[in-house]
Structure 1
Amino acid sequence: MSKKWWSLTVVFVLVMGLLAGCSTKKEGEASTSPSASAAATESAAPATDDKVEGTVTASGSTALQPLVALAGDKFMAAHSGADVKVTGGGSGTGVKNVAGGVSDIGNSDVEADDQYKADLVDHIVAIAPFVLIVSNDVKVDDLTKQQAADIFSGKITNWKEVGGEDKAINLIHRQESSGSRKLVKKIILDGGEFATAGVTQESSKTVAQAVSQGTGAIGYVDAPYVTDTVKALKLDGSAFSKETIASGKYVLYGIEHMYTKGEPKGAVKAFLDYIMSKEFIESAEVEKMGFLPADLIQK
């Protein structure tokens, strides 16, 4: 009997050991489970409200392009999940792109044509001063609005007619879809037609380049494209500035629009909110580029 009981005791001890091992494993699993579950829940938690993800595409005005590109860079730096892609093509192209669903945002220096307005939401973001620029060989510093109109319409063809040297005037134009062209046509030419003579460029950047490399050349760009490679002209005795625009002395500027097809959502809305914020639009960088807050003047 003693041997039998000994055998039973050994078996009992072994069985209890196995059960204890199993019990310990299960307890270990149970004790770590809440922690693992919490970690999994935390990693799968929804993004916070200020986290922005998604791609934003904006196309159109090359005049507005530097401002949108700057805003895009800063926006992406603040939101690693956002991707802002900015292209040119002209204001007319931007409006067509957003209306056709090609772009999220259509940038324009002028209001969209009536055929598009019903489907688009207008976001006015800034004022862009435009400047008449000439090649550095031109000995004229100031034009009246009438003189500028006569030059771009082809009535005046030599710089000596406006106080300069006896030198032919070479016109640098923008293409028909350009908001810059439409703006100059409206403000300087009072709706009149441009001369057919001259060279046509597809962007503000190439206009500035063509004027800088030309002789007796004149064109028009917005402020960010004015460098020391060209000369900016005064208009009716005034250079562009925040003060001259606010006072009405300087009239050549555009109200910059960013159109969306319907109300913007997600990353597009967040980006538009940022570019129109005081934090951005009144920053030193934006002012240095020449853009001004949209509320500087009353429409």
Structure 2
Amino acid sequence: MFKHVSKKAMSLALASILVAGVAAGCGNKEEKKDGAASSSPSASTAPSTSPSTAPSKSPEITGTVTASGSTALQPLVQQAATEFMNKNPKVTVQVTGGGSGTGVKNVADGVSSIGNSDVEADAQYKDKLVEHIVAIAPFALIVNKDVKVENLTKQQAADIYSGKITNWKEVGGEDKKIQLIHRQDSSGSRKLVASIIMNGAAFSKEGVTQDSSKTVAEAVGTTSGSIGYVDTPYLTEATKALKIDDVAYSKEAIKDGKYPLYGVERMYTKGQPDAVTKAFLDYILSKEFQEGQVEKLKFLPANLLKK
């Protein structure tokens, strides 16, 4: 009796399982038909296979930039050119001097991509050119080491360069003739001294004229009793920078308005620059160059005088 009952119970259990399986199968088919559920449980959680967007690569800079003009600014522009070409092997940057006036005329005439200048461009060029201020350049009145004078007032300096004072003994030095070293008329350095020191007085025609800041420094260093003017990157051991009204040049003295002789260094373009010229100017004004190189080259940052 026990065995018979057990077989019957087992048969009933198997039948129930088969019925349940059929019902479940029908339920899945209905779900598929209605679109209420997926036949693959993993389909809703599978990761997307759409491709990711790769970051765009900056276009390679190519081309040629020509910069001419100020010999005072030339060391800074040349250093920037060297670094920029190292970073951009398909770019050529050519830097030449000639004086600020020459640089401004060259860029206005389309001869150069950039005109370098220690002074603001003349009115005749202003409508054509865009100004880019790239640095502040301290300038100094320099004398040969044998000159026993450490300081000049602005008036004394003006009187020396106008020819009113011709001997160092007239300003507290030894009895020695003053030898004037000038720059040519197109020089921004000359225009800077004319504006800040000469106060309208004309330069004496006596003396020797040099065509660059470098040759002025060399001439003063080798000529007894001489005086000249250069921006401070050109100071040498053979020359001495004078104080002006008892103030020596320094970053702080210029920022505080105590030292008068400095240039706001400009790089002019004819209208907005093309892509390669803009990239070069952007590099000069970059934090990397302004903080890393400008003061090492004895210039001061472009934003020094901004309030």
Alpha-carbon deviation of 1:50? Answer: 5.3
**Percent identical:** 68
Distance (Å, rounded) in 2 between the aligned partners of 1:144 and 1:94: 32
Q: CA deviation at 1:187?
A: 0.1
| 1:289 and 2:297 aligned | yes
Quote the Cα distance in structure 1 between the aligned partners of 2:80 and 2:182.
28
The corresponding residue for 2:68 is 59
Q: 1:286 Cα shift?
A: 2.1
For 2:130 and 2:100, locate their aligned partners in 1 and report how far apart those are by CA, in whole Å: 15
Q: Which structure 2 residue ranges, 5 or more long, are not aligned?
A: 1-55
State how far apart, in whole Å, the 2-side matches of 1:178 and 1:185 are: 11
What secondary structure does 1:124 align onto?
A: strand
Structure-1 separation of matches of 2:108 and 2:270: 6
Letter in 2 for 1:79: N
Paired amino acid for 1:219: G
Q: 1:83 aligns with which of 72, 87, 92?
A: 92
User: Aligned pair count?
Assistant: 252
Corresponding position of 2:175: 166
Q: CA contact under 8 A between 2:163 and 2:204: conserved in structure 1? A: yes
Report if the CA contact (8 A) 1:223-1:289 is conserved: no
2:87 and 2:200 map into 1 onto residues whose CA distance is: 43
- After superposition, where does 1:134-213 map in structure 2 within 5 Å? 134-213=143-222
Q: Scaled by the length of structure 2, what TM-score is found?
A: 0.80
Deviates more, 1:151-160 or 1:231-240: 231-240
Whether 1:70 and 2:79 are equivalent positions in the alignment is yes
Q: What pairs with 1:36-51 in structure 2 (closer than 5 Å)?
A: 48-49=57-58, 51=60
Contact kept? 1:282, 1:292, Cα under 8 Å = no
1:116 counterpart SS class: helix
Shift of 1:52: 1.4
Q: Distance in 1 between matches of 2:127 and 2:103?
A: 16
What letter is aligned with 1:126? A
TM-score when normalising by structure 1: 0.82
The amino acid of 1:120's aligned partner reads: L
Structure 1 gaps of 5+ residues are 1-46
**Structure of larger gyration radius:** 2
Partner amino acid, structure 2, of 1:59: S
